[in-house]
């Protein structure tokens, strides 16, 4: 019997974007509200796993043509780079900098280098989770 | 350069990340890992010079002042150990080119070695008890991968044991840190020390001391807790075994040394007696194992356990002289164990077996290898001009002076057991006429021999140049015997 996942696949396509937006919201809210890179990354990989369930490995790989191991290394590079940036300014390692900026559309916004570190965490979490799931899924 | 102490941690970390990108090209990986390891050694030398000239170096991470942020502390002890660990890693990386095999090389072997060095150097440098836990985990996770990489049957079996034991001991570590935090309200090691000095000889502090001893004893291979070590260490190939034997157990010993000199020195009659008893039992158990086995790897592995016992005894005596001996012996033992395991790897490779009853006559094919191994064996046992002598001499003399006669005699007898086991190994592998046919053709092994011999030469220099090393060791001992020096340097009072 041929299974037909048309309802599941249609719903997954819509819900995927809702989860991604919520993940991005959590990621950016991390400084003032509960959230941050870890839970944001986990939720993003949760959204990709939903696509994996609804479609198959090959389709999802076409949608996200990245090597997730690479993404992990990139995330580590971001985090280490942010922390090591303090070496250039000869302040103690991991010293962050922040300031307030007047951005169009957002208004007065505080930008903090801790966000770059968090971006690294976000990428590492996605990379590691997806590598684990893909490796287990592909091994016979 | 106020960030100097971070460099021996940062360089391998960046190298590991870069190596993850280069996983396709083995050649690029080799170049980057050798360059990074050499840079780490240079950075460690730079920090060593700074510590020698200006005293203890600290970095308050993120510019948060001492008890509130994480502080990295490079005192003489930690930077000596960081330097030793970096040199050993450099030699092991060079040795790996030839021996580790292309399957492992293509599968993230080099980045994991760099991550292991991050964990080890971080554990030696950190001044925060929870950060110590984190660096322990970095080190252990890398070692999990290294023990299983390659995926042979014995590696899979032993890695399950190894992971299980270490997960349990890590959980105990977290529990112990939790108790310590509930009592002192701080995680900064210097701050904890001054808070514990206010509490004084509270029985709960003693309970904590024993709990920490169990945790670090599981990592370091102390008498009743070493059961996992012989099996797990015999699974991976020689270069990985050399890293494990030289670095991992010694981090446990360093942690015992740090906690027992900085935190738990108030009820020495109880805690240090237990340490001395366990040290003796460790030495006896190690000696029995070293004498009983006919396997090259197992003999060398039980020699690790003996050395752990000797070091633990040095900590238990807790006088200035015994601590000097312990520091001396710790650095010596790291270097010579790495050298011996690398040489043992060549022997196994040359003979095609690790069973010493089936080997023999290798001296005719590999004379230089044979004599180097003999020198390394003598250094391990502590024959006077070589490096094992000074440390053991100081430990034994301090033992006799403070009335620990039994322990000091056990140390001396264990040296005999060490000497007998390694010389027996030398005679069986190199002198005895082989049972079967000796392989006719000599395999070229310069690329394996040079890094191993470099460690043996370093060990000989360390022994001959004792006079030159002595002031460094005494500076390390000074901060161990007088915790105020350490506390003042961190809290800047």
Q: What is the pLDDT of residues B194-249, one digit of tens each?
A: 999 888 778 899 999 999 999 999 998 898 899 999 999 989 989 999 999 999 99
Q: Which domain holds residue B309?
A: 4-491
Look up residue B486 and give its two tokens: 């350490």
More confident residue, B390 or B439: B390
In this predicted model, what pLDDT tens digit does every residue of B69-120 receive, in sequence order?
A: 999 999 999 999 999 999 999 999 999 998 888 888 888 999 999 999 999 9
For residue A86, is it within any domain?
yes
Nearest to B80 by CA among B110, B56, B115, B112: B56
Q: What integer pLDDT is reported at residue B446 of this predicted model?
A: 82
For residue A81, is it within any domain?
yes
Q: How far apart are CA B103 and CA B18, in angstroms?
A: 20
In this predicted model, what pLDDT tens digit does every residue of B156-175 receive, in sequence order?
A: 999 999 999 999 999 999 99
Q: Which residues of A touch B6 (CB under 8 A)?
A: 93
Coil, strand, or helix at residue B357?
helix
Residue A96 — φ and ψ, nearest 5°?
-100, 165
Domain count, chain A: 1
What DSSP element (H or E) covers A108?
A: strand A107-112
Q: What integer pLDDT is reported at residue B436 of this predicted model?
A: 66
Q: Which residues of A touch B72 (CB under 8 A)?
A: 93
pLDDT at B151 over 90: no
Question: B interface mutation test: which of A86, A92, A117 has the most B CBs within 10 A?
Answer: A92
In this predicted model, what pLDDT tens digit does every residue of B272-296 receive, in sequence order?
A: 889 999 999 999 999 999 999 989 8
For residue A100, is it within any domain?
yes
Look up residue B454 and give its two tokens: 């470099």
Look up residue B147 and give its two tokens: 């023990």
| Conformational region of residue A136, where left means phi above 0, alpha means psi within -120 to 50, and beta covers everything else | alpha
Taking an 8 Å cut-off on Cβ atoms, the answer to whether B59 and A92 are in contact is: yes
For residue A67, is it within any domain?
yes
What is the separation of C-alpha A115 from the centre of its chain, rounded to a whole number of angstroms? 13
For residue A72, is it within any domain?
yes
Structure ipTM: 0.92
Residue B135 — φ and ψ, nearest 5°?
-65, -35
User: B59 - beta bridge partners?
Assistant: B72
For residue A1, is it within any domain?
no
User: Nearest C-alpha of chain B: how many angstroms from A71?
Assistant: 10
Ranking B33-37, B92-96, B129-133, B382-386 by mean pLDDT, the lowest is B382-386
In this predicted model, what pLDDT tens digit does every residue of B403-414 receive, in sequence order?
A: 889 999 999 999
Domain count, chain B: 1
Q: Which domain holds residue A27?
A: 6-138
Residue B493 pLDDT grade (very low, low, confident, very high; cuts 50, 70, 90): low
Burial B87-112 (b: 16+ CB within 10 A, else e): bbbbbbbbbbbbbbeeebbeebbbbb
In this predicted model, what pLDDT tens digit does every residue of A80-114 receive, in sequence order?
A: 999 988 888 888 888 888 888 888 888 888 888 88
3-state helix, strand, coil in chain A (%, to 5): 70, 10, 25
DSSP state, residue B407: H
Residue of A nearest to B22 (CA): A70
In this predicted model, what pLDDT tens digit does every residue of B7-45 receive, in sequence order?
A: 999 999 999 999 999 988 889 999 999 999 999 999 999
For residue A29, is it within any domain?
yes
In this predicted model, what pLDDT tens digit does every residue of B428-487 receive, in sequence order?
A: 888 887 766 666 667 778 888 999 999 999 999 999 988 999 999 999 999 899 999 999
What is the separation of C-alpha B377 from the centre of its chain, rounded to a whole number of angstroms? 18
């Amino acid at each position: 019997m041929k299974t037909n996942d048309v309802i599941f696949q249609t719903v997954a396509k819509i819900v995927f974007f809702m989860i991604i937006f919520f993940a991005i919201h959590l990621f950016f809210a991390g400084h003032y509200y509960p959230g941050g890179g870890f839970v944001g990354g986990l939720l993003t990989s949760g959204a990709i796993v939903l696509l994996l369930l609804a479609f198959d490995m090959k389709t999802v790989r076409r949608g996200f043509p990245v090597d997730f191991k690479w993404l992990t290394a990139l995330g580590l590079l971001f985090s280490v780079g942010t922390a090591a940036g303090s070496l250039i300014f000869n302040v103690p390692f991991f010293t962050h900098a922040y300031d307030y900026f007047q951005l169009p559309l957002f208004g007065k916004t505080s930008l903090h280098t801790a966000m770059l570190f968090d971006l690294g965490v976000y990428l590492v979490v996605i990379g590691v989770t997806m590598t684990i799931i893909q490796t287990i899924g592909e091994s016979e | 350069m106020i960030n100097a102490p971070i460099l021996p941690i940062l360089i391998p970390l960046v190298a590991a990340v870069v190596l993850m990108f280069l996983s396709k090209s083995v050649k690029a990986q080799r170049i980057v890992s050798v360059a990074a390891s050499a840079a780490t050694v240079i950075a460690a030398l730079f920090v060593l010079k700074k510590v020698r000239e200006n005293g203890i170096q600290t970095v308050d991470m993120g510019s948060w002042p001492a008890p509130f942020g994480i502080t990295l502390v490079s005192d003489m002890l930690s930077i000596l150990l960081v330097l030793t660990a970096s040199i050993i890693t450099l030699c092991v990386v060079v040795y790996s080119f030839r021996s580790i095999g292309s399957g492992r090389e293509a599968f993230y072997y080099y980045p994991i070695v760099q991550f292991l060095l991050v964990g080890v150097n971080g554990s030696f440098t950190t001044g925060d008890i929870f950060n110590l836990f984190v660096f322990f985990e970095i080190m252990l996770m890398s070692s999990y991968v290294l023990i299983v990489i390659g995926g042979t049957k014995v590696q899979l079996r032993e890695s399950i044991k190894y992971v299980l034991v270490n997960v349990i001991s890590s959980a105990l570590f977290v529990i112990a840190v939790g108790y310590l935090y509930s009592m002192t309200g701080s995680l900064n090691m210097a701050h904890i020390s001054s808070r514990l000095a206010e509490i004084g000889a509270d029985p709960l502090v003693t309970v904590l001391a024993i709990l920490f001893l169990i945790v670090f004893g599981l990592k370091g291979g102390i008498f009743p807790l070493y059961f996992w070590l012989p099996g797990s260490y015999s699974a991976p190939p020689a270069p990985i075994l050399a890293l494990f034997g030289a670095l991992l157990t010694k981090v446990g010993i360093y942690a015992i040394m740090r906690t027992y000199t900085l935190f738990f020195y108030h009820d020495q009659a109880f805690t240090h007696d237990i340490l001395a008893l366990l040290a003796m039992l460790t030495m006896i158990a190690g000696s029995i194992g070293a004498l009983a086995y006919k396997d090259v790897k197992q003999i060398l592995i039980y020699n690790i356990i003996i050395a752990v016992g000797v070091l633990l005894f040095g900590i238990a005596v807790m006088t200035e002289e015994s601590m000097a001996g312990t520091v001396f012996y710790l650095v010596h033992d790291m270097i010579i164990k790495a050298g011996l395991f690398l040489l043992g790897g060549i022997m196994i490779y040359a003979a095609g077996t690790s069973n010493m009853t089936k080997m023999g006559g290798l001296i005719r094919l590999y004379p230089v290898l044979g004599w180097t191994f003999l020198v390394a064996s003598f250094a391990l046992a502590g024959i006077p001009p070589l490096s094992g002598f000074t440390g053991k001499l100081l430990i034994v003399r301090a033992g006799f002076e403070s009335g620990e006669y039994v322990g000091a005699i056990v140390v001396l007898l264990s040296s005999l057991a060490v000497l007998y086991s390694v010389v027996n190994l030398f005679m069986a592998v190199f002198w005895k006429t082989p049972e079967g046919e000796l392989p006719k053709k000599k395999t070229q092994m310069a690329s394996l021999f040079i890094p191993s011999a470099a460690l043996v030469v370093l060990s000989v220099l360390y022994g001959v140049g004792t006079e030159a090393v002595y002031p460094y060791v005494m500076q390390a001992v000074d901060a161990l015997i007088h915790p105020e020096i350490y506390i003042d340097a961190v809290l800047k009072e």
